[in-house]
Structure formats: C-alpha cells, structure tokens
Amino acid sequence: MSAAGDTADGADVYLCDAAAVADGGRGVRFPVRAFGVDATGFVVRYGGKAYAYLNRCAHVPVELDGIEGEFFESGKQYLMCSIHGALYLPDSGACAGGPCRRGRLHPIAVREREGRIYWAPDAHIRPRDAAEQGARAS
C-alpha cells in the first residue's frame, strides 16, 4: 500500500484508498500547504463521486470539522461547519446557508484511479514536503 505523499504520475499526490471515503460518510483529512501556511484539506464522497476542499470555512478561516472527519450534517446533503453551522454544497463548495453567505470552500482537484484517490496540487495548495523543499531551494 502506498503511503500518503506517493505520487501516481509525478503530479498527483496519493490521498487515501477510495474505500476509505463512503458516500455521505466521514471525510478524510490530509496535510497541505495552503497560501503559504500549513493547513489541511479533506475529501468526502457525495453522489458516488469524491470531492476535496481546503478545510477552511468561508465565514471565519477555521477548520470545519469539530470532530475529525465529520463534515456532513445529519441529513448528509450538506457539508457543515461545526462552529456556526455554515452549510456548503458537497459537489461545488458553494455556500448553501448560514454565515458563509456568498463564500465558498476552496476546491482541490481529486482523481480516483484503481481504487485510490489522488489530489492535484495547484498554485496555492501544495504538498507540505514540496513547499518545504521549495523554501529550502530558494
């Protein structure tokens, strides 16, 4: 089994096995370097598809899950911030109610391949190790 941080094609980063993320169930957190600071991302499954976001509420920049991995509200239709109850659409990250107003979660691209989920770094969301290596190289 691959460890977190293994790459599939030189760009995507192994996140977890696909079976670890059940539809409407607990999400899986993963470490990232976001906009220059250490943070976490998370992946959930909704309608059979995996979606990942930066774990940062649009209301106040805190992590959504008060209990690790608990991102869905009880109806399993929305992602919910545990602090003030902001609701987000699982398939877009758009605010659907509560204090997030017109905000949205920052998406992280994910791909499922051969029973595994990988995430794709972008200009703002990087693996922590890569960010540290870049800092050392500069």
The Cα angle at residue 126 between residues 12 and 96, in degrees rounded to 5: 90
Under 8 Å between Cβ of 102 and 94: no
Judged by CB under 6 A, the residue of 4, 38, 49, 62 near ligand FES is 62
Which residues is 79 bridged to in the sheet?
A: 72, 88
The answer to whether 113 contacts ligand FES (rule: CB under 6 A) is no
Q: Which stretch binds ligand FES (CB under 6 A): 10-18, 77-85, 109-117, 130-138?
A: 77-85
Report the 10 Å Cβ neighbour count for 60: 12
Site string for ligand FES, 4-43 (x = CB under 6 A): ----------------------------------------
Residue 56 has which token pair? Answer: 């940062």
Which residue type does 61 have? Answer: P
Instruction: Tell which one of 4, 60, 109, 135 touches ligand FES (CB under 6 A).
Output: 60
Chain contacts with ligand FES (rule: CB under 6 A): 57, 59-60, 62, 81, 83-86, 98-99
